[in-house]
């Protein structure tokens, strides 16, 4: 399984079943159109809380693609 960890505001969030390029394209399209983006992510381990992060110019966001070790 592939997921993307999103580093935002000093915390790490997760988007399952996607890759870094897809998330980058989603962010780029929103910013190119001049619109802020509410990025849907998961927060927590065990019991997962759906969370929305505001992505807009000047807000730093880091993306890391995570692949299960048995698929690498």
List, for residues 25-45, the tens digit of each pLDDT value.
999 999 999 989 999 999 998
In the chain, pLDDT over 70 holds for what percent of residues? Answer: 93
Q: Which sequence spans correspond to the domains of the chain?
A: 2-71
The widest CA-to-CA distance across the chain, in whole angstroms, is 40
Residue 5 pLDDT level (bands cut at 50, 70, 90): very high
CB atoms within 10 A of CB 16: 12
State the pLDDT at residue 70.
Answer: 54
User: What does the block give as tokens for 31?
Assistant: 């910013």
């Amino acid at each position: 399984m592939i997921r993307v960890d999103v580093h935002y505001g000093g915390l790490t969030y997760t988007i399952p079943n996607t890759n870094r390029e897809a998330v980058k394209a989603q962010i780029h399209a929103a910013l190119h159109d001049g619109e802020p983006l509410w990025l849907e992510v998961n927060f927590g381990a065990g019991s997962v809380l759906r969370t929305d992060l505001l992505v807009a110019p000047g807000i730093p966001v880091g993306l890391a693609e995570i692949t299960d070790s048995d698929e690498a």
